[in-house]
Chains A and B, each alone.
Chain A
Amino acid sequence: MIENSLLRIGVPFAALVAFSIPLGLFMARVFNRQRTFLDPVLEPIERAIYRICGIQRSQEMTWREYTGAALLFGAASWLVLYLIQRTQYLMPFNPQGMTAVAPLLAFNTAASFSTNTNWQAYAGESTMSYMSQMLGLTSQNFLSAATGIAISIAVIRGFVRDGIRTLGNFWVDLTRATLWVLMPICVVLTLVYVWQGMPDNLGAYAEVKTVEGAPQVIAQGPVASQEAIKELGTNGGGFFNANSAHPYENPTPLTNLLEVLSILIIGAALTHTFGKMAGDRRQGWTLFATMSLFFLASCALAVWAEQAGNPKFASLGVDQRPLATQSGGNMEGKETRFGPIDSALFAASTTATSCGAVNSALDSYTPLGGLIPMFNMQLGEVIFGGVGSGLYGMIVMAVMAVFIAGLMVGRTPEYLGKKIEAREMKLVMLYVLIFPTLILLPAAAASVIKVGLSGIANPGPHGFSEILYAFTEGAANNGSAFAGLNANTPFYNLVLGFVMLAGRFLMAIPALAIAGSMAEKKAVPASSGTFPTTGVSFVVLLVAVILIVGALVFFAGDALGPIVEHFAMVNGKLF
């Protein structure tokens, strides 16, 4: 059993290590505007885009301009998405005749997709026309992911540049992230997915008769193409409500592996991009190692919790042991094709990053199994994280770790030779503060007011977990649902919409501001008194800082949800 788990976590992880390195180095070339093998095809397209949009590719932006551009682009994306949903009944590619999406739901969905969250308060197959899915949601899947990558590249430049006020050009980074990184990988993935049996068409839903002769409607559509970017861009918004548990979204073990891999790959690869651009690959490896430690630990814990099953069942005489013919463990809410291991691995991956795609119902996990995905997000989405946002979140954490390390060795702290001073600490603390505020305040409100409480499906601590989870995933721009909570209510649509927007854009501002102030500083050459930000001791410190920031803030809340539920379960009480 252990061997089986090791193999099924080990293979995707090994593939992640193997593929993230070339991709990371490739991205460094793309954003340094060095030659790549895709240039002959893509450069003409790039030039055409710049000409049409009037972009000066050599024009550099200060951090303020860069942030302004990113915010402007986010606002425009949100508005366009809102309008598309509200007018989808007027537009073509609507064979099912979907009507306009309700205003608050449209607001929430627009916020969700423009922030790379892909929280789905709607059910795709019964709400969205193909036009809304493709032009609206899928294009945002690309653009919001590309925005994240662009911001992370700007943040990297801030640490790498020496005494320069600018961080690059947002429009150029956005275009290159889409054309060079996201598009080509998606084309390949789509083809593989279609080969594996995913549909990709624009036809009306099929109406068939089942063997018993009952009529059944089988929803379909451009699934494979949307599936590719769903994971690659850590978007997570499924074509179908069942997301990656749906056979059309995840038909085979190979697609399951590829989906897990593509969820993690860009977040992981960006660490190598960072190392390459910083001129010290070990810097990238250090962040990669830190992320990997958290990832593997969360996989192991989630698999352990789910495989152990529920003691209450044992007392009923249910055999939860894994055997040759059954996977054992907690099978509630899990697709039988995947079982506890692949489900827990998927859950850990999707919450380690800000993806949010799921292949099982997290609501039905054991308390500890459900705590792991929530805790992953509460750590600030820095374990590989959202494409881009994971890296800059991790860099902010590294700055904090460096500050503490500097104090411990008696030297004003430096990261990549840049001194960390009061201004940076102010921004770091702002970044660190925004996140729990976005989670705890609305969750506190929701747990006492009627409109908040009315959404929960289960009593007791489990219901509390549902509320806490909803705002955690919103602030973390994850979008995975703990289900159980009926979030398509005015209160949740509105509040979660704002939480998602703030979780994305409010947090990008301090990150870019740190980069801006770093870029202006002169790099100090390292001496033997400089604390090395590579190697085991720094990884240990970074892990400790991330754990402390996450655990100290959320321990009280988690104790009242999953933790108390766990001890209750041990005592034979379920919610």
Chain B
Amino acid sequence: MARPKAPGLWSREIAGRAVVESLRKLDPRTLIFNPVMFVVEVTSALTTIVLIRDVVEGRHALLGFEVQVALWLWFTVLFANFAEAMAEGRGKAQAATLRQSRTLTQAKLILKTGEIKVVNATSLRREDVVMVEAGDTIPADGEVIEGVAAVNESAVTGESAPVIRESGGDRSAVTGGTTVISDWIKVRITTNPGETFLDRMIALVEGAERRKTPNEIALTILLTGLTITFILVVVTLFPFALYSSTKLDVPVLVALLVCLAPTTIGGLLSAIGIAGMDRLVQHNVLALSGRAVEAAGDVDTLLLDKTGTITLGNRMATEFVPVNGVQATELADAAQLASLADETPEGRSITVLAKREYNLRGRELAEHEAKFIPFSAHTRMSGIDLNGRSIRKGAADEILKFVQERQGTIPPEINAIVERIAKDGGTPLVVADGARALGVIHLKDVIKEGIRYRFERLRAMGLRTVMITGDNPLTANAIAQESGVDDFVAEATPETKLRLIREEQARGRLVAMIGDGTNDAPALAQADVGIAMNAGTQAAREAGNMVDLDSNPTKIIEVVEIGKQLLMTRGALTTFSIANDLAKYFAIIPALFMVTYPELDALNIMRLATPESAILSAVIFNALVIIALIPLALRGVTYRPVGAAPLLMRNLLIYGGGGVIIPFVAIKLIDMLITAAHLV
């Protein structure tokens, strides 16, 4: 199973279930949380009651018209419910594919007595310890407490290469549903059933735990305010009409109210929010709250670890710089010898460089009397003792001390070379053969391809990127220059991140960060948007409010875009909804007063056929536009990082301008259709 695919927009299965759901959602107790649609439901009920009264009392004059108005009013509510149910259905479908793998899993529970008992994975509780062996599926999220194993995590990440999971360190977290392919591990379960990331995500989508996000609340207030205003307009219109001896009927007043009320955005608001979560899941990111998704769109500052995010994880040797007349080949040879036993990526890159540049092959050391000196934080060097030679490579000052201790002389130019390399953002490693300093290896950070473009994109979105690195300021500066990051913090400790986040937040900025290690956990918790790598530790995943299943640090860009898209879709549909009112006024007001003030027909600029057809067309348009905009609500408005002002102009033009024009055309068309069909 690769990443969960977005189900087709109108997948029959989801749409079918959504139809049923939209009827169930008519329950006023749930609908009251959506004040706009609640008003529509109440007034639809009122219209229906009036209709029944008219039937009972045998008033048949406009019965056909009233029946149709009532029907379309109910459709308006149902269409809004349908939109929400569609979004939920799609979210559930995605979550279900993620969850499927887990339900049938058996777990080998290790009892207190040490015996192993096979139980159902769903019965596991927090703190239970299970044994997972090659071929087993890990039954639930947890932490490795013993053993090392290769784990295939393609079930959640879509990445087929197995990863190593071992106890201790930053690679101890395992996810339920992934498979152990070699060796065995003991896993301590960290979540109760129903509390895993997936469960929380599903609950958020399903609505049971869905809370309105801050922006959603503010928008709901705006929409509710507008609705109240229009209730006021419609309620006072009745006496205003009486003044000119016009008695307006309930159905037409309700029709006017429902057309003016922002039903389009009111009906699609929750669908937009759920769809935002769905889109995150499509990008393999699980959000633990809708609030986090929204905050992502607002992020001002992005903290990025240098290693793994901006640069490829490792430094690579790129150059040998000999000193004091030493041949480059001799330096390369010594460097290679010193690195043969060095299994670190840096060490390997030295061997590779020597082979590539100077055609030096790796030698079988078993033939020689060789003793490896591994790197230690204390000595800050590593190397080899071979046939009486002691070859060392390491930090400049330590190696030079090593040379001096052996009464060697320090070549005068070596300091200049070391400084130059450091200034360029590289790491200088000095190589010495006993008392002779041979030269310097230039280790360089390799910046990820395309990262510069990504930073430009972030800048265009208005985000400031800050690189965090343990390097010295010189090195950090060089990498910052090369990668195009806006700012950097050098010689950072884990505490630096937390402090930096607090500082930024004190200045009123929203901060996002990506982390994986246990020492990132406090910073992840402090950040407004904390994205934990799925490959990271359990502590990090608990602290963040999003988990990236792909463990891809540049994913933040998509997350920010989805957050912005969410707000923009709301804004676009709000504008569209309000702009629609103009045409609806022009359709309904002349129709209401056709008898009293025939002069007002001058406002009937669409030349709608009859007062009834005009009102009905407006109501039908108002209902159908919800259905028509479901795809936009679910897919979201396209985001372009072009800066705020041009973006606003563009969206104003499309959704504001379009919102003014489209209903004039559409209402006219509907009017022509229903007149041709003799519906009124």
Chain A residues close to B by CB (< 8 Å): 400, 403-412, 417, 419-422, 424-426, 428-430, 432-433, 436-437, 440-441, 443-445, 447-448, 453, 460-461, 464, 521-525, 527-532, 535, 537, 540-541, 544, 548, 552-553, 555-557, 559-560, 563-564, 567-568, 570-571, 573
Contact = CB atoms under 8 A, between A and B. Distances in A.
Given A407-B570, A422-B221, A555-B585, 8 more contacts: A400-B222, A408-B647, A410-B639, A412-B294, A422-B214, A523-B508, A529-B463, A564-B593
B289 interface: no
B229 A568 contact: no
B232 A411 contact: no
Listed residue (B225, B260, B566, B651) with the most chain A CB atoms within 10 angstroms of its CB: B225
A571 B599 contact: yes
Nearest to B636: A410
Given A433-B225, A436-B232, A408 B648 contact: yes
Given A437-B232, A552-B260, A528 B585 contact: no
Interface string B209-226: 000001101110110111
A429 B508 contact: no
20 contacts: A403-B218, A407-B215, A407-B568, A407-B571, A407-B574, A408-B572, A408-B655, A436-B232, A447-B243, A524-B509, A525-B507, A527-B463, A537-B648, A537-B652, A548-B581, A555-B585, A556-B589, A557-B240, A559-B603, A568-B597
B383 interface: no
Given A528-B643, A544-B656, A429 B240 contact: no
Contact of A530 (B219, B462, B568, B599): B462
Contacts of B230: 552
Contact of A528 (B240, B242, B462, B508): B462
Contacts of A412: 214-215, 294, 297-298, 567
B300 interface: yes
Contact of A448 (B243, B508, B648, B655): B243
B297 A410 contact: yes
A404 B645 contact: no
B93 interface: no
Contact of A409 (B229, B593, B597, B648): B648
A60 to B, nearest CB: 22
A311 B151 CA distance: 89
A424 B217 CA distance: 11
A448 B238 CA distance: 10
A223 B156 CA distance: 85
Contacts of A420: 218
Nearest to A527: B462
Contacts of A430: 225
Contact of A443 (B236, B300, B602): B236
A527 B507 CA distance: 13
Interface string B458-481: 011111100000000000000000
A537 B647 CA distance: 10
A542 B600 CA distance: 30
Interface residues of B, number: 72
A447 B240 contact: yes
A194 B593 CA distance: 53
A444 B244 CA distance: 12
Given A411-B297, A537-B645, A560-B593, A422 B217 contact: yes
B644 A421 contact: no
A411 B299 CA distance: 9
B645 A425 contact: no
Contacts of A424: 218
B298 to A, nearest CB: 5
B241 interface: yes
Given A436-B229, A531-B648, A560-B593, A407 B219 contact: yes
Nearest to B256: A556
A219 to B, nearest CB: 37
Given A445-B239, A559-B589, A567-B600, A440 B233 contact: yes
Contacts of A409: 564, 568, 571, 644, 647-648, 651
Contacts of B221: 422, 425-426, 429
Closest 10 CB pairs of A and B: A529-B462, A407-B571, A410-B564, A429-B225, A567-B599, A524-B508, A408-B571, A444-B236, A447-B243, A522-B508
Nearest to A544: B656
B563 interface: yes
Contacts of B566: 410
A369 B404 CA distance: 99
Interface string B248-273: 00000000000010000000000000
B578 interface: yes
Interface in B176-232: 214-215, 217-219, 221-222, 224-226, 228-230, 232
Contacts of B599: 564, 567-568, 570-571, 573
B568 to A, nearest CB: 4
Contact of A408 (B217, B300, B568): B568
Listed residue (B224, B243, B463, B589) with the most chain A CB atoms within 10 angstroms of its CB: B243
Interface of B: 214-215, 217-219, 221-222, 224-226, 228-230, 232-233, 235-244, 260, 294, 297-298, 300, 459-464, 506-509, 563-568, 570-572, 574-575, 578, 581, 585, 589, 593, 597, 599-600, 602-603, 639, 643-645, 647-649, 651-652, 655-656
Contacts of B294: 412
Contacts of A568: 597, 599
B643 A404 contact: no
Contacts of A461: 244, 597
Listed residue (A426, A430, A527, A535) with the most chain B CB atoms within 10 angstroms of its CB: A527
Contacts of B643: 528-529
A349 to B, nearest CB: 28
A403 B578 CA distance: 14
Listed residue (A424, A440, A532, A541) with the most chain B CB atoms within 10 angstroms of its CB: A440
A567 B240 contact: no
A528 B459 contact: yes
A564 B230 CA distance: 21
Contacts of B509: 524-525
Contact of B567 (A406, A426, A525, A571): A406
Contact of A525 (B219, B239, B508, B597): B508
B216 to A, nearest CB: 9
A522 B507 contact: yes
Contacts of B578: 548, 552
Nearest to A162: B508
A20 B222 CA distance: 34
A557 B462 contact: no
Contact of A406 (B463, B571, B589): B571
A569 to B, nearest CB: 9
Contacts of B506: 522
Contacts of A464: 240, 243-244
Contacts of A447: 239-240, 242-243
A537 B649 contact: yes
Nearest to B260: A552
Listed residue (B225, B236, B238, B563) with the most chain A CB atoms within 10 angstroms of its CB: B236
Contacts of A433: 225, 228-229, 232
A404 B575 contact: yes
A529 B644 contact: yes
A429 B571 CA distance: 17
A281 B300 CA distance: 25
Listed residue (A404, A537, A541, A571) with the most chain B CB atoms within 10 angstroms of its CB: A404
Contact of B581 (A400, A552, A559): A552
Contacts of A560: 240-241, 243-244, 593, 597
Given A444-B236, A548-B578, A528 B460 contact: yes
A532 B644 CA distance: 7
A37 B225 CA distance: 47
Nearest to A405: B648
Given A556-B585, A560-B240, A411 B644 contact: yes
Contacts of A419: 508
